Every structure is written in structure tokens, then in C-alpha cells.
Structure 1
Amino acid sequence: MNAAFDVLIIGGGPIGLACALEAKRAGLTYVIIEKGCVVNSLFNYPLYMTFFSTSERLEIGSVPFVSVNPKPTRPEALEYYRRVATSQELNIRLFEEVQQVIPNANEYTVITSKRSYHTRHVIIATGFYDIPNLLNIPGENLPKVTHYYKDPHFYATQHVVVIGAHNSAVDAALETYRKGAHVTMVIRDAEIGARVKYWVKPDIENRIKEGSIKTYYHSSVAAIRPQEVDLITPAGTVTIPNDFVIAMTGYQPNFTLLEKAGIRLSNDDKKHPAYNPLTMETNMPRIYLAGVVCGGMDTHVWFIENSRDHADKIIAHIKNYV
């Protein structure tokens, strides 16, 4: 089945929805293609996650986001973005994965897991939460290892290793500890990350100081086995009992999709994609980037709060084409 649109948006997260809202208001035909559920990345966030920002900074399309908390929670965000998508009757195709974007004269053919589309313009708003940064160590593929932490109850009474020092790792360590897990943190650097939420940082530091959460600094995990893990520490190799490993080692954008679409990436480990910051258009004509994907491996640069205006820039530029 083929379909023709002015704009095809890859990714049904907050920024993808924002782009759709602007396209609709501009009178453009559009469709969102999302490989999971609505705001799939947020759905996969930890169950009890609290956002760093206040609700008004997470709003899209001038639709008010009302929260009963000073900082909204994951359930509130899911409710908000779902209601935006449904109340605005956005044209969104769920559980459909984009596999390739192919130039075709003055348009693009977009191949998905279900069908193909023809579109004049493509907006890639795929975020960065789909592909974890792997440890590349023995045992990483064991069922006990996860790069996505969800619910602390699952880990009650178990020996848990949490790898990482930033927000996701700290949340996982504190929450599993408070559900009765025996938690060990493994941190490459000398301290907890500077970007950890300011109301959480004293909590984790105090739990470490009192010994409730055992922590190895300047350390890494060397190997994982069904009932233990090997750590490389300043004191040498340490083997500890272990039931589960929560590897909060970060994530990366789908660079394969970008490269297959012809988008240039920088020749360094940052892999910054090429785009014009005034219009968000890439080196490929009429293909745009929006949201976190713009940062390449610098996934801490762009957030919902500071990339909402990408939708305005992109649709304003597209209107010059149509």
C-alpha cells in the first residue's frame, strides 16, 4: 500500500508529536510512524521516574500540561502526551518500524515493516533510547543483565549490581535498595555524576557514605556469570555474588537509519549529524532532524524542553517548499 504525504515523521515521541501538531496547523498532510506505542521511550522509563523539569516546560503545541506535582511523573507524562495525540486526532501509525528512507526524484520513499510511503519531506525525531551502549564483556547477554530498568519490586532481596553514575543508575540503585535489594554500584569515575537531579544527589551520597549501598569508584565490570561478577578496581580484581546486573551505560541514536538515509555524521566518536540549526534540514534536501537525535552521542545536550522549537523551525521551512 502506498500513501502520499507532505510530511512523514519518524518517531512518535514528544517532539515527533510536536512536529505533527505544527504540520496539521499549517494545513500540511502528514503521518507519524512509530515503532512502538505512543511516546514509546517514555513508556520504557522507570516506573516511578520524576522529570527534572516542571510541566509547563514539557508542553507541546500550546496544549497545557497540568500536574499535581511540582515536577511531573512518568504516569502524568504518558497521560498528557497520549491525550494530546488522541484529542488532536493526530495521524499516527503505531507498532510500525521504519527500515529505510530512499531518495526518489523530488520525494522520498519510506519503507516500513508494514508498507511503503511516498512523502515530500521527512522529519526524523527518533530520540536515542532504542540502542544501549554495550559493555562488550563476557556474560553481557545473560538473561540477568538489563540495560532498561523498570520496576524495583522485581529485585527485592537480590544481589544487584548497578553500573553507572548518572540519573538512571542512581534511581535504580536507590529504588532497588529501598525494596530490599543488596545493591553494589560500579562507577568509572571518582564520584556520582554532576548532572544527577539535585534533590536525589544527597540521598545517594548519604546511602553510599553510611555503607547501605556498596560502591566501587574508578572501577568497571570485567565479566558476568550466573551467580557472580568480576570487577576491575584500584585494588585489583574483585569477585562478588550477584543475581542481576542493571547496566545504565547510556544509549545512542539509530545511526544506521541516519546513514542509510544519506545523512553525514562527524568523523569522531560524537557522530554529530549534519544539519542547519536555523532550519534543522540535513545535508539531504527535505530531510530534517528534531529533538535528541540532533546531538549524536551527546545525548545530554537536547531534551524535550529545549528542542520543542525544532517543530516550529522545520514546518516554517517546509512551508517554503510546498
Structure 2
Amino acid sequence: MNIFDVVIIGGGPIGIACGLDAKKQGLSYLIIEKGPIVNSLFNYPINMQFFSSSEKLEIDEIPFISKEAKPKRNEALEYYRRIVTSNQLNIHLFEKVTRVTKNKDSFLVETEKDKYEAKHIIVATGFYDLANTIDVPGENLSKVSHYYKDPHFYASQKLAVVGASNSAIDAALECWRKGADVTLIVRGPEVGQRVKYWVRPDIINRIEEGSIKAYYNTTVKEIKPREIDINTPDGIVTLENDFVLALTGYKPNFKFLEALGIELSKDEKRLPNYNPDTMETNINGLFLAGVICGGMETHKWFIENSRIHAPLIISTIKKSMGSKAE
């Protein structure tokens, strides 16, 4: 079995950036992605538009040209796909990592298809894989989804959207514009303050004019095949309902991190233990990159401010290998 200098788990933008830097530094590397290239971005809503401008989403100073200042999902897929293919990055797609074992001087990476050995590991798996559930009766019904893709699916249907962040608000507006009867269920007193600044006035206006019904300070009590019960300040309200989009956020795969031996903070933030100067965790030779570094603070790291992780990690690995050689 050949031993790689580094195996990168996760083929999103930051995992790709790590691969580019490893290649430039002459390190043997492998990127392993459980789905297609930039799997998380692929699973974003079809019409999603980024909050950031295209230049802030660039990696390795490769220009990202988009039609508008803020690119859309399909443009991002094109950009990152071309980077992977034009640079002939060593990436294995549709190959899920099942276990990583630390040996004396290396790691054994086991996937659903093969096994690999590496001197160093970079985990860049993001946080979009696991949804924050609302934990109510009926959440497992087929009418309920924690991911939103295409508004056409909900046309002429009574749709409840649970949440007040960007994903929930985008879904509510898009589905309403395609003819859905939309009700927004918000746990807090208002639409989230982090909603994109050009979208927030739109949803507020739609609510005020009565096009979209909104219940604030409200939670879901139970989801039924044809109804949904909600807890409002005025008591329990039962609504006719065909579909529920529970868009209440996502979280990293903490079980995977713990299985790797990475220490997590005991509070609700579940912050992983790593050195911010090197991105190395409490496990020697194991690094974190990208949004996964924020634990439950999923608003802390984005593509634009975690791009620096790639050169930081690869330079650290390069130096450590040089010192060992001496």
C-alpha cells in the first residue's frame, strides 16, 4: 500500500484548496469525497445565490467570473469543477470514509471502497451533512424535508416553512412565487437578522401585505399527514398542510470527529480542539480546515475567510516533513 503525505477528507472548496496547495508543494495527496465534486454546494437549492461576491469565493487566486457580483449555485459548481479537472487533482468521488485509525507514524483511512495510508490527515467535511431536527411527532413523514431544492415541486401546495435564516427565507419566497400557499413558522420574534440584506425587506413586505403568512414566537407541536399543529403565543393552531420544509440549520458530524479522537468543548458550541496557528488538532498530524472548525457556530467560518487554512496547513506539513528528514 502506497503511503500518501496527506489524505484530505472532503472535496468541497476548502478541501480542493488543500489539494491544490499540496500539489504545488510537491506532496503526494489524495482528496476523498463521499459525493460529487463540492457535494455540499451541489445539494444547495437550484436557484441559490451566494451572500459573498465571486472574488471572495476564489481559491488559489484563480479568477471566478460570474454574471452578477454575487454568483449563483450553478456558476460555483462550474468554477470549482473546472479547477479540479484543469489541475488534474487526485480526487476520489462517491467514496465515503468510514474509519480513520492512528498508527505510530501514520493513519489508516478506510472507505466504502478501499484503504489508504497517510502521514497526515486534513478533515474538511463542512457542516451541511446533518440537519438540526425539530424533534416532534410526525417529523419522519415523507412530506417533511430538511433540505430544499426546487420551488416547482411545491406549486399549488400548502407549504409550511420552519426557520428564519437564509435557507428558510429563500425557500419561502421562491415557493410563493411559484404558486405555493406558504406559511412561515419562526421560533423568534422576527425574521433573522443575518438574512441577506437584499432578501430581508422582500420577505417582510410579503408578510406585511399578507402574501405569506408568518407566525412568530412559534414552534411546531406535531406534523400530521394533512395538517400541522403549531404552538403560538395565542395557543395551539392547526393548519391545513401538504408539505413541511424544516430548514432549521445544519451541524458537523461530531460523531466522526470524536471517533478520530478530536476533543470537543463540553458546551453547546462543541468547538473542536485545534491550534489556530497551524490548524493541527490534539491528534498529532491531524488537521481541520474550513467551516467545520466552528463547531455549532456555523456562521463563524465561510469559504472566504477559511481559504487561508489550506496554505497554513500545507506549509506546516511541509516544514514537519523537512525537519523529520533532517
Shorter chain as denominator, the TM-score bin is: over 0.9
1:27 equivalent in structure 2: 26
Structure 1 Cα separation of the partners of residues 54 and 206 of structure 2: 29
Cα contact 1:161–1:242 (8 A) shared by 2? yes
- Once the two structures are TM-superposed, the CA of residue 263 in structure 1 deviates from its matched residue by 0.2
1:103 equivalent in structure 2: 102
- Once the two structures are TM-superposed, the CA of residue 3 in structure 1 deviates from its matched residue by 3.8
After superposition, residues 19-168 of structure 1 pair within 5 angstroms as 19-168=18-167
1:226 equivalent in structure 2: 225
1:196 equivalent in structure 2: 195
Look up the equivalent residue of 1:132 and give its one-letter code. A
Q: Which secondary structure does the structure 2 equivalent of 1:256 belong to?
A: helix
Q: Which secondary structure does the structure 2 equivalent of 1:321 belong to?
A: helix
Structure 1 Cα separation of the partners of residues 142 and 241 of structure 2: 13
Cα contact 1:157–1:181 (8 A) shared by 2? yes
Q: Which secondary structure does the structure 1 equivalent of 2:26 belong to?
A: coil
Structure 2 Cα separation of the partners of residues 56 and 200 of structure 1: 21
Q: Name the TM-score, length of structure 1 as normaliser.
A: 0.99
1:173 equivalent in structure 2: 172
Q: Which secondary structure does the structure 2 equivalent of 1:64 belong to?
A: coil
Deviations 1:9-66 (A, max 9, x none): 0000000000000000000000000000000000000100001111111001121111
With 62-71 and 216-225 compared, the bigger mean Cα shift is at 62-71
Deviations 1:258-292 (A, max 9, x none): 10010000001110000000100000001000000
2:215 equivalent in structure 1: 216
Structure 1 Cα separation of the partners of residues 58 and 306 of structure 2: 11
Structure 1 Cα separation of the partners of residues 297 and 182 of structure 2: 29
1:295 equivalent in structure 2: 294
1:274 equivalent in structure 2: 273
Structure 1 Cα separation of the partners of residues 202 and 52 of structure 2: 19
2:242 equivalent in structure 1: 243
**Structure 1 runs of 4+ off > 4 angstroms?**
none
Cα contact 1:275–1:289 (8 A) shared by 2? yes
1:17 equivalent in structure 2: 16
- Once the two structures are TM-superposed, the CA of residue 321 in structure 1 deviates from its matched residue by 1.8
Structure 2 Cα separation of the partners of residues 225 and 266 of structure 1: 37
2:324 equivalent in structure 1: none
Runs of 5+ in structure 1 lacking a partner? none
Q: Let me know the Cα RMSD of the aligned residues.
A: 0.6
Deviations 1:177-209 (A, max 9, x none): 000000000001000001000000110000000
- Once the two structures are TM-superposed, the CA of residue 144 in structure 1 deviates from its matched residue by 0.5
Q: Which secondary structure does the structure 2 equivalent of 1:24 belong to?
A: helix
Residue 298 of structure 2 corresponds to residue 316 of structure 1: no
1:5 equivalent in structure 2: 4
Runs of 5+ in structure 2 lacking a partner? 322-326
Look up the equivalent residue of 1:183 and give its one-letter code. V
Cα contact 1:128–1:253 (8 A) shared by 2? yes
Task: Mark the CA change 1:3 to 1:229 in structure 2 (over 3 Å): closer, same or farther.
Answer: farther
Structure 1 Cα separation of the partners of residues 82 and 309 of structure 2: 21
Structure 2 Cα separation of the partners of residues 99 and 278 of structure 1: 29
Look up the equivalent residue of 2:160 and give its one-letter code. V
Cα contact 1:162–1:247 (8 A) shared by 2? yes
Look up the equivalent residue of 1:94 and give its one-letter code. L
Look up the equivalent residue of 1:150 and give its one-letter code. K
Deviations 1:154-178 (A, max 9, x none): 0000000000001000000000000
Structure 2 Cα separation of the partners of residues 239 and 318 of structure 1: 58
Q: Which secondary structure does the structure 1 equivalent of 2:320 belong to?
A: coil
Cα contact 1:3–1:116 (8 A) shared by 2? no
Count of residue pairs the alignment pairs up: 321
Structure 2 Cα separation of the partners of residues 85 and 173 of structure 1: 34
- Once the two structures are TM-superposed, the CA of residue 320 in structure 1 deviates from its matched residue by 1.4
- Once the two structures are TM-superposed, the CA of residue 248 in structure 1 deviates from its matched residue by 0.5
